[in-house]
Amino acid sequence: MTFVVTDVCIKCKYTDCVEVCPVDCFYEGENMLVIHPDECIDCGVCEPECPIEAIIPDADPKATKWVEINREYAEKWPNLTRAKDALPEAEEFKDRPNKFEEFFSPRPGEGD
C-alpha cells in the first residue's frame, strides 16, 4: 500500500506533508505535489499533515487513477524534501472541485 496526492492539492500545494516524510518521496510540480508510489513506505505520517486532505491511501476507491498520475509525474518532476510556502491562491482554491481537468499543470516545480 502507498499514499497518493489527489487533485485537491492543485493550485494549493501545501507542503506540511513534505516536512514529515521520512523517505523524501514527494515530488513537486508547478501547481501540485505527488508521491512516488514505489518510494512511499506507507508510514502514513503525511496524510494527517495535509490541511486540505489531499492525501489518501491507495486502498481508497477514489485513489485508483491517482496512483498512476503520481507515479508518472514523480518520475518527471524534481524531488522536494523541505517545506515551502503554499501557493498564493491556496485558500481560494482549496475547495474547488474538478481541479485536475481545469487547472493541472504538467510542468515541473523547482524542487529543493
Per-residue pLDDT tens digits for 15-31? 999 999 999 999 999 99
Model pLDDT for residues 75-87, shown as the tens digit of each residue: 999 999 999 999 9
- What whole-number distance in Å separates Cα of residue 6 and Cα of residue 33? 9
Q: What is the pLDDT of residue 25?
A: 97
- What whole-number distance in Å separates Cα of residue 35 and Cα of residue 18? 10
As a dihedral over the C-alpha atoms of residue 71, residue 73, residue 77, residue 80, rounded to 10 degrees, the angle is -50
- What whole-number distance in Å separates Cα of residue 63 and Cα of residue 15? 20
Radius of gyration of the chain (CA): 12
Report which secondary-structure segment, H or E, holds 28: strand 26-28
Model pLDDT for residues 32-54, shown as the tens digit of each residue: 999 999 999 999 999 999 999 99
Q: What is residue 91's three-state secondary structure?
A: helix
Position 1 pLDDT exceeds 90: no
pTM here is 0.95
